[in-house]
Amino acid sequence: MNNFTFQIQYMSTVFTEFSLHPYNTFSVAAKAKYFIEFSTQDELMDLLQDAYWNDTKKMILGGGSNILLTKDFDGLVLKNSLLGIEVLSETSNYYYVKANAGESWHDFVCYCIEQNMGGVENLSLIPGSVGASPMQNIGAYGVELCDVFHSLEALEINTLKKREFSAEECYFGYRESIFKKALKDQYIILSVTYRLTKNHLINASYGALSEILKQKNIEHPSIKDISDIVIEIRQSKLPDPKQLGNAGSFFKNPEINKSEFDSFHREHGNAPFYNLENGKYKIPAGWLIEQCGWKGKVIGNTGAHKDQALVLVNYGGAQGEEIWKLALNIQTSVKEKFKIEIQTEVNIY
């Protein structure tokens, strides 16, 4: 790796032409024109107060588990390494716990389970950082981040003013928040405060979870039981990015309205679907992709995983552009066969 340090001295080092290969779970080779890792808010402010960076494009990087780098990043990558977890307050029912954005999400989940704080156990083993958890309202096994979210603190990049966001102000949706839409690239999330239970509401509604509980004869699972089973399922189902580059589900499950669903269902009566509370229908994107023949297909160094069609993988040496081309081809074929548009869950750069 040929990294050259920057001439201007800040509290932390700015690297130039910095390899992002170890910083994205797709393991694609791409460089950042500038790169800095900050572990205190002072370090971040010290850098951003310099007008030199005003017109430079910026990317906030957590664990790199939800990005696809299709080319070198012609700007400044800010790697968030703000650490620390603090119990702010407690009531008879809840703990209010603040975690700094650079904490690993799964380490935070483990901390909560050790402290007997409930609510995040179904979200065990999701890769990435605390700071990215509100970005797409991470979700798994019947629970979403918004179920435990209290507030977050973020820094507005243009004004360097800090602002607190409530849940309402984050506009959480299915793998969405205001930070992926109207406020995209405008704020750096510094910390997130979660509301965690003392009297746990165990959510074992998800099929695979309740099945394993039955097999193990666990009638009254603890939050640790749920976490252990979620980890077991995830390890058996999903490719480990350390072995096979990927970013989890590449596409979101499409939601279609009643008239679209009626014509889809007339033609594809065997398709799985979920009725949503808003009157729409959710179709598993993995099923749509599989029906188009992509599951297990290898194209060059990339392909759709053999067990999870929704997970695009880097078999080794794939360029981001190559993975993106595959994604576009998948999108087109789903559109042609089913007249349904599938949107990316992964952030494309």
Structure tokens given for 99: 């975690």
CA 137 to CA 152: how far, in whole Å?
Answer: 13
Whether 175 is a known active-site residue: answer yes
Q: How far apart are CA 27 and CA 223, in angstroms?
A: 33
Q: In what helix (H) or strand (E) does residue 330 lie, and over which residues does it extend?
A: helix 320-338
> Which position among 121, 175, 191, 195 bears the catalytic label?
175
Q: Which is nearer to ligand FAD, 264 or 286 (CB)?
A: 286
Does 134 bind ligand FAD (CB under 6 A)? Our answer is no
Annotation says 234 is catalytic: no
End-to-end alpha carbon distance in the chain: 21
Nearest distance, CB of residue 133 and ligand FAD, angstroms: 5
Which residues between 228 and 257 bind ligand FAD (CB under 6 A)?
238, 241, 246-248
The stretch among 33-41, 60-68, 89-97, 286-294 that binds ligand FAD (CB under 6 A) is 60-68
Pair type for strands 139-140 and 94-100: unpaired
Q: What's the CA gap between 226 and 122, in Å, rounded?
A: 7
- Selection from 305, 341, 342 nearest residue 323 by Cα: 305
Q: Looking only at residues 81 through 110 of this chain, which bind ligand FAD when binding is defined by CB under 6 A?
A: 101
- Minimum CB separation of residue 125 from ligand FAD in Å reads 8
Least gap, CB of 243 to ligand FAD (angstroms):
10
For residue 141, the minimal CB distance to ligand FAD (Å) is: 8
Nearest residue to 105 (alpha-carbon basis) of 83, 79, 124, 80: 124
* Active site (annotated) includes residue 89: no
Strand partners, 140: 143
Does the footprint of ligand FAD cover residue 302 (CB under 6 A)? no
Residue 127 is a binding residue for ligand FAD (CB under 6 A): yes
At its nearest, how many Å lie between ligand FAD and the CB of residue 68?
Answer: 9
According to DSSP, the β-strands at 67-68 and 347-348 are parallel
Question: From the candidates 81, 133, 151, 249, which is the catalytic residue?
Answer: 249
Per the CB < 8 A criterion, the answer to whether 129 and 102 are in contact is: yes
Interface residue list for ligand FAD (CB under 6 A)? 25, 59-67, 80, 101, 126-129, 131-133, 135-136, 138-140, 188-189, 238, 241, 246-248, 347
Tell me which residues are annotated as active site. Answer: 175, 249, 345
